[in-house]
Structure 1
């Protein structure tokens, strides 16, 4: 099983692009935590930017919205998943040195501030994409694509 946790992602366009990528990568479920926007708003209306950017994948990939990322992480760990944050940190390992387990959940954080320390603290590990240029990071939707398609399913 492969899961994605999007924590405090602010851009609806990024969320839509990530849904499309998750569909292509056969992700079992996406968890939208914190203030990450969902494909359906609290009034039951479709969020146009997410549907358009996802090209309808937001209707194909199972998802759940909740405020607390840590409770979702613990739930997945209790079900045997290894939960790995994708973040630049002193104790992170390179994506290229990471052996992906069969039951995995990836946590992606805010476009500017990344994954919060209290969320990192409950993850089983931290990986990062090595950067060679002047910029320190990639767009979160690009990062999700690289992580999910790094190794064949």
Structure 2
């Protein structure tokens, strides 16, 4: 009996010069096809040569064709096609390595907007956060076309890890990490919070859903809930903006 063929991997389009050039700099072997308009083609010669050496497709096309390939008008004149990257699993070995190196961590609790995920990845890469943990939840957006585009190359430096559910994972993680969640009910973010109240553990930051915030059962696992101070004009920052503030406070001042 013949074995069933392996399922075909979903393809992702990486758009924009910054994202595509960073992809070629970090993971050129992942590029399956490359498309560009006439203007961008003038500086894409090196990319085309790399693909030609491996007998892969590269082609100059009209902007309308680029829009069709990428399914967006925001393609920036260049589109690379790659296979979807598998989300990694958090093993005991991975946890031990994070703890040993005091790796900065970001946890996303049902962040549903792909553009927000991309912006968070860009922030994470800027501040040296190499791991983002999400739950296996239908409301959680994963890296896709929009996230790659908005991350502007940041996706090449950040790995996504998936756990079955955040509450039990947080209960395990807090043995070696100080968990800090964002909440409108939290204490004002302050220098004292940056020091994690004197805890010797490295901080892990948790950001919640755009509308509902962190789930109560996840918040219950946090060692500290913090609120980013501001005026009363609007209730809160967008989750991607909150990620930037939190990463600066906890990781940018190391």
Which among 188, 191, 200 is matched to residue 94 of structure 1?
188
Q: Where does residue 152 of structure 1 map in the other structure?
A: 253
Superimposed CA distance per residue, residues 10-38 of structure 1 (whole angstroms, 9 cap, x where no aligned partner): 10000000001001111141112233222
* C-alpha distance in 2 between matches for 1:85 and 1:137: 14
Q: Where does residue 228 of structure 2 map in the other structure?
A: 129
Structure richer in helix, relative to its length: 2
Q: How does 1:32-71 map to 2 (within 5 A)?
A: 32-33=134-135, 34=137, 35-39=139-143, 47-71=144-168
Aligned-residue CA RMSD (Å): 1.6
Q: Give the number of the structure with larger relative contact order, counting CA–CA contacts within 8 Å between residues 6 or more apart.
A: 1
* C-alpha distance in 2 between matches for 1:72 and 1:27: 19
Superimposed CA distance per residue, residues 134-153 of structure 1 (whole angstroms, 9 cap, x where no aligned partner): 11101000000011112512
Q: Which runs of 5+ in 1 are unaligned?
A: 40-46
The answer to whether the Cα contact below 8 Å between 1:85 and 1:115 also exists between their aligned partners in 2 is: yes
TM-score (norm 2): 0.53
TM-score (norm 1): 0.86
SS of residue matched to 1:87 = strand
Alignment: residue pair count: 143
* C-alpha distance in 2 between matches for 1:4 and 1:100: 17
User: Rg bigger for which structure?
Assistant: 2
